[in-house]
């Protein structure tokens, strides 16, 4: 699979208002839809298959026990529970790819560099363990912190960690510090942008799931209800994969916008353009 962005123009750096950032997010996604959606969906297929199968195996056994067609037996649930556990492990190990491959591709595109699916995955592979550590820390904080606002405060401060890793070739600790300094003084604005993007992501997912619901209703005419639910679980993962690039592209734009506002890199880009356009 060698879908490539052919010589993309670099992102025109400028301060982005919230509406501009949303528009630019969807413009970039539309321009590179096959690349971004392809990456996201391909990476979601293993999780979708495992989730659909484990849901079917677990709940079909459970429903049969409830309906009295079989005697409740914990041992009969063990294969389904094992697949369920394997699914979570696979999702965890794939998390750096599902969370960062589109971000890498968007960073490369913003810098005017061509990128392929395999090139994007290779870029993530080179940073696999720092990205996995970053995601693990976020998940661990979500579990351990009693105050959810505290987790939100830190997560927003670290929103640019993955773009910093890719664009500035930074390690995990350096990227965390760099992201925190970029967001400092602009936390509320960054949090508002993320909130709006999450809303768009959520409602776009609901709209796509509505079509899946119609298909499930038609399937339910000829198959059992727990088969329909299993299909719905797998389809929900694919739907999420289609809308996830919206959030991931927005994170890249937030990173560049923060750098423009704090470091005026748009002026540096303009100076380079003027210098390149002058005759030798």
- pLDDT tens digits for range 179-213: 999 999 999 999 999 999 999 888 887 777 666 66
| Residue 238 pLDDT level (bands cut at 50, 70, 90) | confident
Residue 231 has pLDDT above 70, yes or no: no
pLDDT at 202: 84
Q: Is residue 162 part of a domain?
A: yes
- Percent of the chain whose pLDDT exceeds 70: 67
Residue 277 has pLDDT above 50, yes or no: no
φ and ψ at residue 233, rounded to 5 degrees: -65, -45
| Residue 80 pLDDT level (bands cut at 50, 70, 90) | low
What the block records as the tokens of 98 is 């599902």
Q: Is residue 7 part of a domain?
A: no
Q: Is residue 1 part of a domain?
A: no
How much is the mean pLDDT over the chain?
78
Domain that holds residue 113: 18-277
Closest CA to 60 of 268, 265, 228: 228
Q: Per the structure, how many domains does the chain have?
A: 1
Taking only the tens place, the pLDDT of each residue in 116-144 is 888 999 999 999 999 999 999 998 887 77
- Percent of the chain whose pLDDT exceeds 90: 35
Centre a 10 Å sphere on the Cβ of residue 157 and count the other Cβ atoms it contains.
Answer: 19
CB under 8 Å to 114, separation ≥6 — which residues? 4, 5, 6, 7, 8, 108
Q: Is residue 26 part of a domain?
A: yes
Q: Is residue 23 part of a domain?
A: yes
Beta bridge partners of 61: none
Q: Which of residues 86 and 19 earns the better pLDDT score?
A: 19
Mean pLDDT of 74-92: 70
Q: Is residue 268 part of a domain?
A: yes
Q: Is residue 9 part of a domain?
A: no
Residue 240 has pLDDT above 90, yes or no: no
Look at the pTM and tell me if it is higher than 0.85.
no
| Residue 256 pLDDT level (bands cut at 50, 70, 90) | very high
pLDDT at 254: 95
Mean pLDDT of 84-88: 73
Q: Is residue 144 part of a domain?
A: yes
- Could you give the CA distance from residue 140 to residue 25 in angstroms, rounded to a whole number? 29
Mean pLDDT of 85-103: 86
CB under 8 Å to 1, separation ≥6 — which residues? 38, 42, 117, 118
């Amino acid at each position: 699979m060698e879908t490539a962005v052919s010589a993309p123009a670099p992102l025109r750096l400028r301060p982005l208002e919230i509406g501009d950032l949303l528009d630019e997010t969807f413009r970039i996604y539309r321009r590179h839809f096959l690349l971004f959606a392809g990456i996201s969906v391909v990476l979601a297929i293993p999780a979708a298959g495992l989730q659909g199968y484990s849901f079917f195996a677990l709940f079909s056994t459970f429903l049969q026990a409830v309906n009295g067609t079989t005697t409740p037996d914990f041992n009969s649930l063990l294969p389904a529970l094992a697949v369920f556990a394997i699914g979570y492990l696979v999702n965890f190990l794939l998390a750096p790819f599902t969370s960062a491959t589109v971000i890498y591709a968007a960073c490369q595109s913003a810098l005017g560099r061509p990128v392929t699916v395999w090139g994007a995955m290779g870029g993530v592979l080179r940073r696999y363990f720092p990205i996995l550590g970053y995601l693990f820390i976020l998940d661990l904080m979500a579990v351990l912190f009693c105050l959810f606002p505290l987790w939100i405060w830190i997560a927003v401060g670290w929103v640019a960690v993955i773009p910093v890793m890719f664009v500035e070739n930074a390690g995990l600790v350096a990227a965390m510090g760099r992201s925190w300094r970029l967001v400092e003084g602009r936390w509320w604005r960054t949090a508002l942008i993320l909130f709006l993007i999450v809303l768009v992501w959520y409602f776009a997912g609901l709209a796509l799931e509505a079509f899946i619901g119609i298909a499930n209703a038609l399937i339910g005419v000829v198959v059992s209800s727990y088969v329909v639910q299993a299909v719905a679980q797998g389809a929900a993962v694919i739907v999420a994969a289609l809308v996830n690039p919206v959030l991931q592209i927005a994170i890249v734009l937030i990173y560049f916008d923060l750098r423009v506002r704090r470091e005026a890199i748009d002026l540096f880009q303009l100076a380079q353009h003027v210098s390149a356009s002058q005759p030798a």
